[in-house]
């Protein structure tokens, strides 16, 4: 056996030797999704008790001379529910990223699995950094610019739900744009797009396929 064959054999042995059927993959995915959902519910429930304080924080970028309105009796209550869920998702990001990466881990070599905690940390930090940049820079300047089109005949009466929708969309879009071209994806590419990453000999083909699909679409989720 040549040195190259021995090296390939050793690398294949480093992978998970247990072959999982397709239904087992679905069951594992279901369990990890349930953990993410449970985390979101738990954090959302806790956030509801601080919804008023969170609302004040979210309204700080909005011009103080302008007021937000709600048009339905239940809109104020539903707004607090939405805020709680939004904060619950933000606080659950480490759990969500961790569960996503752990689902991919069996498709990696042992030497590559050590990068999973780093990827989880970087994913969370980059998202939060983008959200803070939106909160302190993009949203205030954006609102001042857009509300500057008001006149004596054109007076802004913005609903609270529309304001929160605007904030959510801006945060998500800025994170997508801001991270699509950063060094983070160079790091990610170094980890995922290795020449022998998808060599599936003596390995569960379906999980390797999962890894390939996830690595190609990771940019749309972090």
- The backbone torsions φ and ψ at residue 151, rounded to the nearest 5 degrees and listed phi first, read -135, -175
What residues does each domain of the chain span? 19-220
What pLDDT is stored for residue 189 in this prediction? Answer: 52
- When pLDDT is cut at 50, 70 and 90, the band that residue 2 belongs to is low
Q: Considering only CA atoms, which of 166, 176, 178, 175 is closest in space to residue 82?
A: 166
Q: Per mean pLDDT, which range of 11-15, 62-66, 90-94 is the poorest? A: 11-15
- Does 81 have pLDDT greater than 50? yes
Averaged over 113-138, what is the pLDDT? Answer: 83
Q: Which residue has the tokens 């070599």?
A: 109
22 or 94, higher pLDDT: 94
Q: Which residue has the tokens 């022998």?
A: 196
pLDDT in tens, 25-63: 788 889 999 999 999 999 999 999 999 999 999 888 888
Q: How many CB atoms lie within 10 A of CB 171?
A: 21
pLDDT in tens, 167-188: 888 888 877 665 554 444 545 5
Percent of the chain with pLDDT over 70: 69
Contact 193, 215 (CB under 8 A): yes
Averaged over 60-72, what is the pLDDT? Answer: 85
Counting every residue written for the chain, the total comes to 222
- When pLDDT is cut at 50, 70 and 90, the band that residue 147 belongs to is confident
Q: Per mean pLDDT, which range of 6-10, 118-122, 124-128 is the poorest? A: 6-10
Q: Cα separation of 102 and 42, whole Å?
A: 21
Q: Considering only CA atoms, which of 98, 99, 89 is closest in space to residue 42?
A: 89
3-state secondary structure the chain: CCHHHHHHHHHHHHCCCCCCCHHHHHHHHHHHHHHHHHHHHHHHHHHHCCHHHHHHHHHCCCCCCCCEECCCCCHHHHHHHHHHHHHHHHHCHHHHHHHHHHHHHHHCCHHHHCCHHHHHHHHHHHHHHHHHHHHHHHHHHHHHHHHCCCCCCCCCCEEHHHHHHHHHHHHHHHHHHHHCCCHHHHHHHHHHCCCCCCCCCCCCHHHHHHHHHHHHHHHHCC
The pTM (predicted TM-score) of the whole model is 0.65
- When pLDDT is cut at 50, 70 and 90, the band that residue 215 belongs to is very low
Q: Cα separation of 114 and 103, whole Å?
A: 14
């Amino acid at each position: 056996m040549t040195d190259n064959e021995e090296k390939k054999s050793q690398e294949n042995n480093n992978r998970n030797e247990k072959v999982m059927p397709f239904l087992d993959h679905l069951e594992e995915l279901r369990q990890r999704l349930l953990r993410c959902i449970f985390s979101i519910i738990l954090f959302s429930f806790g956030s509801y008790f601080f919804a008023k304080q969170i609302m004040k924080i979210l309204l700080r970028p909005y011009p103080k001379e302008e007021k937000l309105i709600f048009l339905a009796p239940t809109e104020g209550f539903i707004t607090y529910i939405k805020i709680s869920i939004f904060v619950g998702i933000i606080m659950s990001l480490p759990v969500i990223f961790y569960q996503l990466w752990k689902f991919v881990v069996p498709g990696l070599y042992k030497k590559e699995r050590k990068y999973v905690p780093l990827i989880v940390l970087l994913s969370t930090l980059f998202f939060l950094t983008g959200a803070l940049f939106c909160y302190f820079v993009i949203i205030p300047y954006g609102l001042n610019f857009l509300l500057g089109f008001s006149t004596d005949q054109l007076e802004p009466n913005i609903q609270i739900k529309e304001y929160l929708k605007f904030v959510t969309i801006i945060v998500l879009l800025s994170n997508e744009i801001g991270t699509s071209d950063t060094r983070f994806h160079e790091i990610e590419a170094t980890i995922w797009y290795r020449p022998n990453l998808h060599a599936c000999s003596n390995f569960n083909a379906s999980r390797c396929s999962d890894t390939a699909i996830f690595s190609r679409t990771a940019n749309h989720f972090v």
